[in-house]
Amino acid sequence: MIVKKTWRQKSILFLTGFFLISLLFACQTASINESSTSTATPVTEKTFSTQSFAVAYPDRELTTSPARLPELPYAANALEKAIDAETMKLHHDRHHAAYVKNLNAALQKYPELQNKSVEAMLRDLNSVPEDIRETVRNNGGGHLNHTIFWQIMSPNGGGEPTGEIAQQINQTFGSFDAFKKQFNQAGGDRFGSGWVWLVRNPQNQLQIVTTPNQDSPIMDSLYPIMGNDVWEHAYYLRYQNQRAEYLNNWWNVVNWSEINRRIQAVSQQDDT
């Protein structure tokens, strides 16, 4: 016996089928969106994934076409454990901004140099025309040094180093405390304005060095792993003339995961 479906029954069957198929599509789309969001923008990578944060890694150099002031990767008051908000604002918005502005102004006269990275010019300063060499040295160096500086600090920083950097510090200096002491001593002894650095030398050894003014370690074929700014503009508002106290407190905001990233980047360069 053939059961003939009524018009009403056919409509219900059609609508139910349509609803089920739509539901299936909706679920698939949702699951695709979900997975692409979590892989494309993992929270920990976010700060460093944009071009403006490309910095001083062997494979990602700072562009000069034109040079750009990178944003701070945290709020100005985020590093209060070591550095007050007012100092951070002046330091980034005025001092670092001025290095970028002066560098771009100097390069205007030499469009061919605008295709070079800051690092390439600093590594080979003699190839930079004499009339802007000092300006590129000071302002290109200032741009590079500060870009690294903002990144190797974090509100979640401080404490003992971890991973590869911890291992290499222990190997080279005996212990983290011994390293800290030498680093602070070198920073304190740097007369006038400059920087104290942990670098890797061409013999693949870690070394503490200081540079005057805005000189970058890469001018001497040294790769900067981490560095602290000992210009008075970096600490004077809170610490006045107590540079040693600033150097001591600074360890509370040191971003060991970024420092590990830097040491791994330069190790990988050796492998290629």
**From 177-185, 198-206, 223-231, 256-264, span contacting Mn ion (CB under 5 A):** 223-231
Nearer to Mn ion, 70 or 161 (CB): 70
Residue nearest to Mn ion (CB): 229
**From 101-109, 115-123, 226-234, 241-249, span contacting Mn ion (CB under 5 A):** 226-234
185 neighbors 207 (Cβ within 8 angstroms): no
**From 28-36, 113-121, 180-188, 221-229, span contacting Mn ion (CB under 5 A):** 221-229
Nearer to Mn ion, 215 or 229 (CB): 229
How far apart, in whole angstroms, are the C-alpha atoms of residue 258 and residue 151? 7
Q: Is 239 in the site for Mn ion (CB under 5 A)?
A: no
Selected binder of Mn ion within 144, 229, 246, 250 (CB under 5 A): 229
Pick from 147, 146, 151: which is nearest to 254 by CA? 151
Q: How far is the CB of 37 from Mn ion (least distance, A)?
A: 37
Q: How far is the CB of 99 from Mn ion (least distance, A)?
A: 9
Nearer to Mn ion, 119 or 229 (CB): 229
Q: How far is the CB of 149 from Mn ion (least distance, A)?
A: 7
Alpha-carbon Rg of the chain, whole angstroms? Answer: 26
Q: How far is the CB of 195 from Mn ion (least distance, A)?
A: 8
Q: How far is the CB of 231 from Mn ion (least distance, A)?
A: 5
Of residues 165-204, those binding Mn ion (CB under 5 A) = none
**From 46-54, 60-68, 190-198, 224-232, span contacting Mn ion (CB under 5 A):** 224-232
Nearer to Mn ion, 97 or 208 (CB): 97
Nearer to Mn ion, 176 or 236 (CB): 236
Q: How far are the Cα atoms of 47, 63, 74, 243 from residue 158, in angstroms, in the given order? A: 18, 30, 15, 19
253 neighbors 83 (Cβ within 8 angstroms): yes
Q: How far are the Cα atoms of 67, 100, 116, 137, 209 from residue 124, in angstroms, in the given order? A: 18, 19, 11, 10, 20
- 206-212/223-229 β-pairing: unpaired
Nearer to Mn ion, 153 or 169 (CB): 153
Nearer to Mn ion, 97 or 219 (CB): 97
Selected binder of Mn ion within 99, 197, 231, 256 (CB under 5 A): 231
> Which residues are near Mn ion by CB under 5 A?
229, 231
